[in-house]
Structure 1
Amino acid sequence: MGVKPQENDVVRLLRPLPEHDLPAGSQGAVVMVYRDAELPLAYEVEFADADGVTQALVTLKADDVEVTWRADG
């Protein structure tokens, strides 16, 4: 597996989410990383339209996304 997403990373969906009208390849921003020793790593990802209006806020597993952009820091 590639780079693990961090907060503020831009990620791409690896599978469609028809219930949110998001095709595979949709890009969103990681707004929260859920770390819990008893649960799998998960990410809260915000998907917005070209005007910046939130289309969906979805909790996803690591296998659902890949990092496409990260701020240098």
Structure 2
Amino acid sequence: MIKLTVTLAAADWLKETLKLAVGNGVKFFPDPDNHHPVIHGPHQLYAIDNHPDRVAAKDEVSGINFHINFEDE
């Protein structure tokens, strides 16, 4: 089981960067182009996704729904 925790600072940054409104959603997913043999930390991408499908983990901060879909777990 995976747990997703989004800090208020991260939520505010994403809200401003993506021009999000209350009720919008953001999904996190791995970078498919990251084929480096040594991993130095997380390499995830994010995108607006207001209609999550098969959510594996979620968090809600400042009215924004953050999630990771099952296939990206």
Q: Would you say same fold, with TM above 0.5?
A: no
More strand per residue: 1 or 2? 1
Larger Rg: 2
Into which bin does the TM-score normalised by the smaller protein fall?
A: 0.3 to 0.5
Higher relative contact order (CA 8 A, sep 6+): 2
